[in-house]
Structure 1
Amino acid sequence: MWVQRLYLVRALRSFDDFTYSMIRKGKQKLKKPEALIKHDILSRFIELGEDPESYLTDKSLRDVVLDFVMAGRDTTATTLSWAKYTDPEGIRVDDGLPDGTKVKARGLVTYAPYSMVRM
């Protein structure tokens, strides 16, 4: 039991080190007076935390990063499961549309609903 707790504590320490370094780097980038600053979600939260009425601390920013990591893990796992389920080797690729129209490789198929209207 204590061994599992030790693994958890080490993993959390590693995650904390990583996220706090990301937060520090993000704050340093925002302090630079460059014209082109990359505005990602973390930099938006850091800017929000600079507001004196906001209660965003480095710990709450770490929690935001953890939320995004966990959300990404779930969506990535679902996507990979779905990709495995729809194994590309079992899917037959057609060179044409259902009405028999041939489509060249890298061709663009468009649909214009206003031209498909029947009067």
Structure 2
Amino acid sequence: MKDLFGDGIFATDGEKWRQQRKLASHEFSTKVLREFSSVVFRTNATKLADKISSTANNGTVIDMQDLLMKTTMDSIFKVGFGFELNTLSGSDESSIQFSNAFDEANSLVFHRYVDIFWQLKRYFNIRSEAKLRRNIQIIDDFVMKLIHQKREQMNGQDNVRTAKLYLEYPRAREDILSRFIMQSKTDPKTMNDRYLRDIVLNFLIAGKDTTGNTLTWFFYMLCKNPIVQHKVELEINESVEWAEKDNADDFTARLNEGAIENMHYLHSAISETLRLYPAVPVVQINSL
């Protein structure tokens, strides 16, 4: 796993794991990051709804899992890096190439568990290991370019006064990469660009597949259980005060934390989906 995830939290132990766990638990608990994440997910949910609506009107068959995975990837990437990936719209070729490389590399890494010759293949750089190396190179080129761009954005105004403003006004560093770059100023030797790459890629894998797969199973279960589907629909309409004349933008504008907290039946339905189809069925971590 280290070939892809480096020294990220899912592939390391000891002091580096503790450091990332401490930083992540602090950053993810901040109000700014929660609010930023909420805005990002609502925005991309609207894009998804518009895409599904247009294809439904055309009578086109769609792959819901593919759309949900792309929407989740766009959302997690925006929260993680602060950049738009646009895999759902397919408007950026380099983004699509990165997303495909990330998915294939992740699959190839886990294929090593059933391939007893993977180390030999890696040594000779052949077959699946050659594919993995090419994909990791694509990922590294794309991510390191974004990290350099983010550093340039932040260093363009970098002086004592600006650094103080970043700390006092966290709106200026909403995405996770920006927040970790600010943290890296206290320990630039350890938290270099490669380390930042590892941290954010681990965040991507933690959020993308778990959320995308859970949503896929959730909608599958709704289709299999129309009574539950109807109850969920009624609860959502009541919680956001939905009207027939409203569009997707009106809906997402009212979809705040207060409305979501009132959706107890929806919460139960998602929890039941996770019970039946857990996002992470096996955890290969032991306490030391």
2:224 & 2:148 partners in 1: Cα distance?
Answer: 43
The CA distance in 1 between the partners of 2:222 and 2:234, in whole Å, is 21
2:214 aligns with 78
- Structure 1 partner of 2:185: 50
Q: Quick one: which of 194, 202, 209 aligns to 1:59?
A: 194
Q: In 2, Cα distance between the equivalents of 1:75 and 1:94?
A: 19
Computed over aligned residues only, the root mean square deviation of the Cα atoms, in angstroms, reads 3.5
The answer to whether residue 128 in structure 2 is matched with residue 4 in structure 1 is: yes
Deviation at 1:93, TM superposition (A): 5.6
> Which consecutive residues of structure 1, in runs of 5 or more, have no partner in the other structure?
98-102, 112-119
Unaligned runs of 5+ in 2: 1-120, 166-170, 244-253, 263-288
Give 1 or 2: higher helix fraction: 2
Instruction: State the secondary structure of the residue aligned to 2:230.
Output: coil
Q: Which residue of 1 aligns with 2:72?
A: none
The 3 A distance-change label for structure 1 pair 50 and 93 is same
Residue 114 of structure 1 is matched in structure 2 by none
Structure number with greater Rg is 1
Contact 2:144 2:197 in 1 (8 A): yes
Higher RCO (CA-CA < 8 Å; seq separation 6+): 2
Counterparts of 1:30 and 1:70 in 2: how far apart (Å)? 26
Aligned counterpart for 1:29 among listed residues 144, 147, 153: 153
Q: Across the two proteins, how many residue pairs are aligned to each other? A: 104
CA contact (8 A) 2:173 2:179 kept: no
Q: Give me the TM-score of the superposition, normalised by structure 2.
A: 0.31
Contact kept, 8 Å, 1:45 with 1:61, in 2: the verdict is: yes
- The answer to whether the Cα contact below 8 Å between 1:20 and 1:62 also exists between their aligned partners in 2 is yes
Deviation at 1:80, TM superposition (A): 1.8
